[in-house]
A and B are shown apart, each in its own frame.
Chain A
Amino acid sequence: MIALERRPEPSRAWQYATPLLAVALTMVAGGLMFAALGKDPFAAIRTIFWDPLFHPQFAAFSRPQLLVKAGPLILIAIGLSLGFRAGVWNIGAEGQYIVGALCGAAAGLALYPSDSVLIFPMMVLAGALGGWAWAMIPAILKTRFNTNEILVSLLLVYVAENLMASLAVGALRNPEGGGFPGSRNLAQWDAASNPELIAGTGMHWGVAAAFIAVILAYVLLARHLTGFHIRLTGEAPRAARFAGVSPARLVIFCLGVSGALAGLAGLFEVTGPAGQISIDFNTGYGFTAIIVAFLGRLHPVGILLAGLLMALTYIGGELASFMLGIPAAAIQAFQGMLLFFLLAVDVLTNYRIRLGRREVAG
Chain B
Amino acid sequence: MTGAIDPALLIASLMVAATPLVLAAIGELVVEKAGVLNLGVEGMMIVGAICGFAIAVESGSPLAGFVAAAAGGAVLSLLFGVLTQVLLSNQVATGLALTLFGLGISSLMGQSYVGIKPPGTPRLDLGPLSDLPFLGTALFSHDWVVYFSIALTAAVWWFLNRSRAGLTLRAVGENHDAAHALGIKVIAVRLMAIAFGGACAGLGGAYLSLVRVPQWTEGMTAGAGWIALAIVVFGAWRAGRVLLGAYLFGGVTVLQLNLQAAGSALPVEYLSMSPYLITIAVLVVMSARRGRARLGAPASLGRVFHAAS
Contacts and interface: CB of A to CB of B under 8 A. Distances in A.
Interface of A: 4, 6, 84, 89, 91, 141, 144-148, 150-152, 154-159, 162-163, 165-166, 170, 287-288, 290-291, 294, 327, 329-337, 339-340, 343-344, 346-347, 350-351, 359, 361-362
A158 B273 contact: yes
Contact of A337 (B101, B222, B270, B308): B101
Main secondary structure of the interface of B (DSSP, over half): helix
A106 B90 CA distance: 39
A334 B105 CA distance: 8
Contacts of A337: 101
B273 A163 contact: yes
B104 interface: yes
Nearest to B42: A154
A332 B39 CA distance: 18
Contacts of A158: 222-223, 273, 276
A4 B306 contact: yes
Interface in B238-293: 267-270, 272-273, 276-277, 279-280, 283-284, 287-288, 291-292
Contacts of A330: 104, 108
Contacts of A144: 288
Interface stretch (B15-23, B81-89, B126-134): B81-89
Interface residues of B, number: 49
Contacts of B97: 291, 336, 339-340, 343
Interface in B55-98: 79, 83, 87-90, 92-94, 96-97
Contacts of B287: 145-148
Interface stretch (B170-178, B206-214, B225-233): B225-233
B107 interface: yes
Given A336-B97, A336-B105, A344-B87, A166 B230 contact: no
A152 B291 contact: no
Nearest to B109: A329
A336 B101 contact: yes
Nearest to B269: A166
Given A147-B288, A294-B93, A332 B107 contact: yes
B269 A163 contact: yes
A6 B306 contact: yes
B230 A155 contact: yes
Given A89-B92, A147-B283, A154 B101 contact: no
Contacts of A290: 96, 100
B222 A343 contact: no
Contacts of B94: 340, 343
A146 B288 contact: yes
Interface string B20-42: 00000000000000000001000
Given A151-B229, A329-B104, A331-B104, 5 more contacts: A4-B88, A158-B222, A334-B104, A336-B100, A362-B309
